[in-house]
Amino acid sequence: MDDDMLFNSPDSKIRYEAYTRLQAACSAFGEELPIPEIVAIGGQSDGKSSLLEAFLGFRFNVREVEMGTRRPLIVQMVHDPSADTPRCRLQEEHSEEYGPPIVPETAVADAVKSRTEAHLRQTGGTVSAKPIVMRAEYAYCPNLTIIDTPGFILKAREGEGDTTPNDILSMVKQQAAPGHRLILFLQQSSVEWCSSLWMHVVQEVDPDFQRTVVVASKFDNRLKEFAERWEVDRYLSAAGYLSANVKPFFVALPKERTVSSSAAWRASIAEVDAATLRCLREQVAGGFDEERFGARIGFGNLKRFLEGELARRYRDAAPATLALLAERCGGARGELAAAQAHLHALTDVPTLRRDAMRHVAAMAADVAGVLAGGAAGPDPAVHGLTTAEERATCSASQWPGVATEEVVPPHADLRLYGAAAFERCLQEFQKATKILGFPPVARERVASLLLAEGMRAGGGPPAAARAAAELARAAARALLAPLLGTACSRLAACLRRAFEVAAEGPSLTSGGAAEALRPYVAFHAELRTAFQHFVGRLEAQCRELVAHHLETATSVWSAADLAAALPAPEPAAEDAQSENIPPATEPQLARSPLRESQMSVPETPSPHFLAQKRRAPAGKPRAAPSHQDGGSHAAICQAAERQFRAIREAVAARAAPATLKAAFLEPLARDLPAELAMHVFARTDADFMGLFVASGAVAVLEAKRDALARRLDGLLRCKDEFAELARCL
């Protein structure tokens, strides 16, 4: 068959034209459609690049550059009758645009090799699955997409990683896996079928060889081994080695690499095909079964078979492909409409305010729902925190004056949030206050208080009772105030966590308003800031309330109520050697067993005290000591401790829990929607739109809208062209 019949026959022109239109449907705007392609696989030096040159109709690797490409090479062949010389362009690495034409076409191999080496230097690997895309427009090539893959190797080249052979194998499998791709498996004819090194790769991706075309390359090397017809027929049938449905092709291509022109290259291909048939007919005794195998000898037959097979597959895939194009057009219309609506919303203040109001109201309701608890809320195991985690996330992680490890509330190991976490935190506060003890008091401080109280005029409680009350009030203020402040911080952290849980909940991650507002980071940040400010104000108010309760409980006006709540004191045994002997008219302070730190060691009576005792007449009552309003250090400390416990009980067990709940939860349920709305919406339109429009955002959205419009227009044209093509096929 001559060059004109092989590359320029009327049937070929019709197929080329049909493939051109189909190729446009596949490649326009980067759409991936399941239209058949050819992926060439095989061992290194099995002839894949030469076969690719034969399909293209020109040679691009005259110097036999080891393209050895460690990347797939996707060759998009476009039949262009006006292109008398090949126009080859490489697609940019990070763009859909193609670079300038490679001139001359024989420099393609160098360009591919240079692109591969630059990419591998950048990635630091020896193999990359990122393909190189080359578009070739030529009058003598069909409209096909052929993927030339790296050749299989058994051992890595010097300087390559040891895993290179396995990396190439994995990459090639990935390229051959899609069901719409025809696998063109090349194996040198000098290798026996039973000794194939890479046939198992095909069997893994296409076990039944339903989409595999086996090609025995370099067939001219095998011809000299045939002497009789039975030898040829047995080899050509591959009986016993390949499945019955596998009908391999046997191809030989010109070995002369100094062909002067593309036309001469195409002519040489036709000459080699003719010489191969002539050798089988004339130099083999009895020839060969030409009726059975003749259609599978030579590149021309392989090319015609692939074109016919692709046309058949195109025809079979036409209904599904046309439906897919229609679906893509519908999706593109929806995306374009959404982009236009989004762009319109950027300048539509009422629409943005309406969507934002809905979102703010939903957020306030969800926060209230999280705090209310319930079985329908988010999973506590996912969104909740343990006590240790709550402490770690809060700046006030310690309870002042108490060993934190001793404060273990009920359910400390459970992950809780909302009302449950709030209640557990209150229980933790109460447990910390119960552990808090009355601090030791120095004797000098007690003496100071006694002397100061003794100098006061007027009636009232005795000096010892007044001193004990003052000690209790001072200790309560010093120790309970930090605990109350920590409780406020921890409870405020529970509320802030409730906001996080609500923001992650399903009602705010789906829905029209939520989807419309999702891209606006500034708006969501402002809403979060509004909630933080609101909780901060609640925390400050709560601190003031509990501080007021503490001041009330430690005031002198609460002394009578606290004294009434105290248990009746027990009479203390009189100690003649005691330094502080209460007067006969002063009620005794109850004494109870003291802790070691509170015991007072009696001092040795002073000489003045002993002399006064000796001068006292017999039978007369002993004179009271000069500090008549005094009392023993231990008795006063014990009385102060009882009053401290009463204050602690009044504040921690009764006043504080109710106050904390009322100060935090009631305003949040009542005022949160209004507070959030005031913070977000009480601003001018310009300030409000600043939450939604970033610098350059409109230009970006306009560019996206225009790109979608072009894509939709291209898809519609592709659909119409493919519908016409389907009728032609």
Structural domain spans, the chain: 3-324, 357-570+628-689
579 token code pair: 């330094």
Those residues whose C-beta lies under 8 Å from the C-beta of residue 28, and which sit 6 or more positions away, are 714, 715, 717, 718
Rounded mean pLDDT of the chain?
Answer: 78
* Residue 204: per-residue pLDDT: 92
Nearest to 355 by CA among 523, 521, 529: 523
- Cβ proximity of 664 and 538 under 8 Å: yes
168 token code pair: 């190439």
Q: Are strands 87-90 and 132-138 parallel, antiparallel or unpaired?
A: antiparallel
- Cβ proximity of 150 and 68 under 8 Å: yes
Helix (H, G, I), strand (E, B) or coil at 183: strand
Q: Distance (Å, rounded) from C-alpha 272 to C-alpha 490?
A: 88
Any idea what the Cα angle at residue 712 is, between residues 711 and 717, rounded to 5°? 100
* Residue 524: per-residue pLDDT: 87
Q: Which residue has tokens 């007067």?
A: 583
* Residue 273: per-residue pLDDT: 92
Alpha helices in 238-298 (DSSP H): 262-282, 290-293
* Residue 33: per-residue pLDDT: 72
* Residue 139: per-residue pLDDT: 87
Output 405 or 294, whichever has higher pLDDT: 294
- Cβ proximity of 436 and 402 under 8 Å: yes
Position 571 confidence tier, pLDDT thresholds 50, 70, 90: very low
Q: Distance (Å, rounded) from C-alpha 468 to C-alpha 164?
A: 86
Q: Does residue 505 surpass a pLDDT of 60?
A: yes
Q: What pTM was computed for the model?
A: 0.53
Q: Distance (Å, rounded) from C-alpha 222 to C-alpha 216?
A: 10
DSSP 228: B
Is it true that domain 357-570+628-689 has CATH number 1.10.1660?
no
How remote is the C-alpha of 629 from its chain's centroid?
74
Backbone torsions φ then ψ of 186, nearest 5 degrees: -105, 140
DSSP 43: B
- Cβ proximity of 554 and 476 under 8 Å: yes
Alpha helices in 399-462 (DSSP H): 419-435, 443-455
Any idea what the Cα angle at residue 468 is, between residues 465 and 472, rounded to 5°? 140
Q: Distance (Å, rounded) from C-alpha 451 to C-alpha 606?
A: 19
52 token code pair: 């690719």
Nearest to 225 by CA among 284, 267, 182: 284
* Residue 533: per-residue pLDDT: 93
Lowest mean pLDDT among 127-141, 504-518, 555-569: 555-569
> How large is the greatest C-alpha to C-alpha distance in the chain, in angstroms?
161
Scored b (16 or more CB within 10 A) or e, 628-641 reads: ebbbbbbbbbbbbb
Class of 3-324 in CATH = alpha beta
End-to-end CA distance of the chain: 26
Those residues whose C-beta lies under 8 Å from the C-beta of residue 183, and which sit 6 or more positions away, are 39, 41, 176, 202, 205, 206, 211, 212, 213
Mean pLDDT on 53-75: 74
* Residue 567: per-residue pLDDT: 52
Q: How many CA atoms lie within 13 A of 461 on its CB side?
A: 15
Strand 145-148's sheet: what is its strand order?
Answer: 87-90, 132-138, 73-79, 145-148, 37-42, 181-188, 212-217, 249-250
Q: Distance (Å, rounded) from C-alpha 525 to C-alpha 531?
A: 10
* Residue 25: per-residue pLDDT: 52
DSSP 136: E
Mean pLDDT on 277-296: 90
Give helix 633-648 / helix 443-455 axis angle, nearest 10°.
Answer: 90
Q: Does residue 396 surpass a pLDDT of 60?
A: yes
- The alpha carbon torsion through 628, 633, 639, 645 (nearest 10 deg) reads 150
Lowest mean pLDDT among 168-177, 306-315, 418-427, 430-439: 306-315
How remote is the C-alpha of 389 from its chain's centroid?
22
Position 195 confidence tier, pLDDT thresholds 50, 70, 90: confident
DSSP 406: G
Those residues whose C-beta lies under 8 Å from the C-beta of residue 7, and which sit 6 or more positions away, are 57, 140, 266
* Residue 507: per-residue pLDDT: 60
- Cβ proximity of 362 and 503 under 8 Å: no
